[in-house]
A and B are shown apart, each in its own frame.
Chain A
Amino acid sequence: DTGVSQDPRHKITKRGQNVTFRCDPISEHNRLYWYRQTLGQGPEFLTYFQNEAQLEKSRLLSDRFSAERPKGSFSTLEIQRTEQGDSAMYLCASSPSLGQDNEKLFFGSGTQLSVL
């Protein structure tokens, strides 16, 4: 499967714990995005990388959230001191800069986070 891969698929944690999610984009896609989706809502933008550079960050991304893409390939999203309001589906997407698909975002299956 050459799609966007996210790990884990599900994560249950207790309030106050730290969690980290991983995203492996489609090979050679240099753009990578993180979104968050709650039930009954559309996805909300969190952050965007071009290669290893984090070029856009939403105001939603509080100090407790940090994202990295150290070598311009996979990315991690860490949430520190989780709160119940962080419970959501965290979606990763990737896109190429060039080619006929360069306007499309390809989404992964997401990581469902439940904070108890």
Chain B
Amino acid sequence: ELKVEQNPLFLSMQEGKNYTIYCNYSTTSDRLYWYRQDPGKSLESLFVLLSNGAVKQEGRLMASLDTKARLSTLHITAAVHDLSATYFCAGTQGGSEKLVFGKGTKLTVNP
């Protein structure tokens, strides 16, 4: 059964700095997702990664997928306060529609 682990679970960083969130998964995943969740709000889709070597970028966020290492990364460039949120990665397996989520990384960007 697919398991998804994120680290770190908590991340406090200063504005302007770069950092990376890691998402490891236990078995082959068909698709890898990144979501953002603000406190008390629902999940917002950021990226969907479908194949090995896939890289997607939106603003200060860049996601990549290495299926051989079973690793996805979410890289934050020059963080700003508005990026403060919880970030989840999730994978699917074996043609199932079920998304298996990690526990999330709570990011706080300090001025």
Contact = CB atoms under 8 A, between A and B. Distances in A.
A104 B48 contact: yes
Interface string B21-39: 0000000000101010000
Contacts of A107: 35, 42-44
The range of chain B's interface size is 20 to 34
Contact of B101 (A40, A42, A103, A109): A42
B65 interface: no
A108 interface: yes
Contacts of A43: 43, 88, 90, 99, 101
A41 B4 CA distance: 12
The range of chain A's interface size is 20 to 34
B97 A104 contact: no
B75 interface: no
A74 to B, nearest CB: 17
Contacts of B80: none
Nearest to B101: A42
Interface string A55-96: 110100000000000000000000000000000000101000
Interface of B: 4, 31, 33, 35, 41-45, 48, 50, 88, 90, 96-104
